[in-house]
């Protein structure tokens, strides 16, 4: 490589690739610690109180991953034989290793719709009649932002529509809020205003918020008491986990507002790529850009490999589809460089 900037890798595979910043590491080193299984790690307790307050819920629980946050919630809300209503592009169905079936004995029933979204009518249609033949419809899961739907943002009114009906039908509501702060920053809706439509809500600190490890799930006191026991059962109870919770606290203090920079960078990338007629870019709402290549432009895996040779990483998600995700370590100069490289590769 001729010049130094060009030899630095621009990693757009995911917002999970972020490294803790020096200031975040310092906060981790300074954190007072206890043994969280005795509930006396002050840093974990402070984070849990803060997350509960942020969502306007009674209590919260710190867990190792977003997957565990969702699965602890699912197990806490359901019993074997129950059914979960969710979108076919939802993370709990696509990317959690079959956990609803394996860990909770639940089936899933799909409610389809554009960009990972659905309506109260869809939920009504998916509900099972009360009859011994059928699984019991128990839980409805909404993901916000919706990753595979395009990093799409549910508005509060869309959620209110689904939630009101779901609750009338006796369903519990769970929010997979792995990227809830992206949704809040993009829509101007507060975490509380989203969460009031749910019985449980999660947040992931190791995505765009930049912490190395950790998620949390919030809900009622009774729900969290049960969730704590399930977390133990799933092997996710930790000891001096304040060292990790400190990173999450730091992220909530310093890395929320700046998500709008990630959204601007993603929008810029989407706009630059869409200048090429052989690249079809999905609408970009937050920090995720999906695009499809025309056959004449080669395949997505080929482009992924060529990008890597040019020190740019993106993910091929199919024969024609790629994904780029912006985050804390991606500058607008990086976006210009990545777009230029792609546009040069696909003329
Ligand atoms: C990343 C993600 C999760 C959790 O993933 P982990 O890798 O287990 O932290 C859950 N839901 C959504 C929508 C996600 O994007």
- Report the separation in Å between the CA atom of 145 and the middle of ligand 1, taken as the mean of its atom positions: 11
Q: How far is CA 331 from CA 179, 289, 294, in A?
A: 20, 15, 28
Integer Cα distance of 278 and 206 in angstroms: 34
Per-residue pLDDT band at 6 (split at 50, 70, 90): low
- Does the structure show a pLDDT above 90 at 5? no
- Does the structure show a pLDDT above 60 at 79? yes
Q: Where are the domains of the chain?
A: 3-17+258-345, 31-254
Ligand 1 binding pocket, CB closer than 6 Å: 65-67, 70, 91, 143, 147, 176, 178, 204, 206-207, 215
233 token code pair: 């059962």
Q: What's the rounded mean pLDDT across residues 179-187?
A: 98
Mean pLDDT across the chain: 97
- Does the structure show a pLDDT above 90 at 9? yes
Q: For tokens 């992220």, what's the residue?
A: 251
CA within 13 Å, CB half, 264:
10
Given this model, what pLDDT does residue 2 score? 44
Give the DSSP H or E segment for 292.
strand 288-293
pLDDT, tens digit, 9 for 90 and up, residues 151-171: 999 999 999 999 999 999 999
**Topology (CATH) of 31-254:** 3.40.640
Residue from 264, 149, 13 nearest 272 by CA: 264
153 token code pair: 């943002």
Residue of the CA atom closest to atom 6 of ligand 1 = 66
Per-residue pLDDT band at 7 (split at 50, 70, 90): confident
In terms of Cβ atoms closer than 10 Å to its own Cβ (0-12, 13-18, 19+), residue 234 is middle
pLDDT, tens digit, 9 for 90 and up, residues 123-154: 999 999 999 999 999 999 999 999 999 999 99
Q: What's the rounded mean pLDDT across residues 280-305?
A: 97
Integer Cα distance of 331 and 17 in angstroms: 15
Given this model, what pLDDT does residue 347 score? 79
Sign of the CA dihedral with 260 first, then 253, 202, and 318 last? positive
Helix spans in 211-292 (H): 221-233, 242-254, 259-273
Give the position, in ligand 1's atom list, of the atom nearest the Cα of 70.
10
Given this model, what pLDDT does residue 274 score? 97
Q: What's the rounded mean pLDDT across residues 192-210?
A: 98
Residue of the CA atom closest to atom 14 of ligand 1 = 178
Integer Cα distance of 114 and 91 in angstroms: 16
- Report the separation in Å between the CA atom of 168 and the middle of ligand 1, taken as the mean of its atom positions: 29
Given this model, what pLDDT does residue 1 score? 42
Residue of the CA atom closest to atom 10 of ligand 1 = 66
Integer Cα distance of 346 and 303 in angstroms: 9
pLDDT, tens digit, 9 for 90 and up, residues 225-279: 999 999 999 999 999 999 999 999 999 999 999 999 999 999 999 999 999 999 9
Parallel, antiparallel or unpaired: strands 200-204 and 215-219: antiparallel
96 token code pair: 């959690």
- Report the separation in Å between the CA atom of 74 and the middle of ligand 1, taken as the mean of its atom positions: 14
- Report the separation in Å between the CA atom of 214 and the middle of ligand 1, taken as the mean of its atom positions: 10
Integer Cα distance of 295 and 16 in angstroms: 30
- Report the separation in Å between the CA atom of 178 and the middle of ligand 1, taken as the mean of its atom positions: 6
268 token code pair: 């810029």
In terms of Cβ atoms closer than 10 Å to its own Cβ (0-12, 13-18, 19+), residue 97 is exposed
Assign domain 3-17+258-345 to its CATH architecture: Alpha-Beta Complex (3.90)
């Amino acid at each position: 490589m001729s010049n130094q900037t060009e030899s630095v890798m621009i990693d757009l595979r995911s917002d999970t690739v972020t490294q803790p910043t020096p200031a975040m590491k310092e906060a981790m080193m300074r954190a007072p610690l206890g043994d969280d299984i005795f509930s006396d790690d002050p840093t974990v307790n402070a984070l849990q109180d803060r997350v509960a307050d942020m969502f306007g819920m009674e209590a919260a629980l710190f867990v190792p991953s977003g997957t565990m946050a969702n699965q602890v919630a699912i197990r806490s809300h359901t019993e074997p034989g129950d059914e979960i209503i969710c979108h076919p592009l939802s993370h709990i169905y696509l990317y959690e290793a079959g956990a609803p079936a394996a860990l909770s004995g639940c089936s899933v029933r799909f409610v389809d719709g554009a960009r990972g979204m659905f309506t109260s009518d869809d939920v009504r249609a998916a509900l099972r009649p009360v009859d011994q033949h059928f699984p019991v419809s128990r839980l409805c899961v909404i993901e916000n932002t919706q990753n595979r739907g395009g990093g799409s943002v549910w508005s509060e009114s869309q959620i209110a529509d689904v939630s009101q009906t779901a609750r009338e039908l006796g369903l519990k509501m769970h929010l997979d809020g792995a990227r809830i702060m992206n949704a809040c920053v993009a829509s101007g809706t507060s975490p509380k205003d989203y969460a009031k439509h749910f019985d449980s809500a999660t947040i992931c600190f190791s995505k765009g918020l930049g912490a190395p490890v950790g998620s949390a799930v919030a809900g009622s006191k009774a729900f969290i008491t049960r969730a704590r026991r399930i977390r133990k059962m799933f092997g996710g109870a930790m000891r001096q986990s304040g060292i990790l919770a400190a990173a999450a606290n730091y992220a909530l203090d310093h890395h929320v507002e700046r998500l709008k920079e990630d959204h601007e960078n993603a929008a810029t990338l989407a706009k630059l790529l869409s200048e090429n007629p052989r690249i079809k870019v999905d609408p970009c709402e937050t920090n995720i850009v999906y695009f499809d290549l025309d056959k004449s432009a080669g395949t997505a895996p080929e482009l992924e490999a060529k990008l890597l040779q040019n020190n740019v990483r993106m993910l091929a998600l199919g024969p024609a589809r790629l994904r780029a995700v912006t985050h804390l370590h991606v500058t607008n100069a990086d976006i210009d460089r990545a777009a230029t490289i792609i546009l040069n590769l696909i003329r």
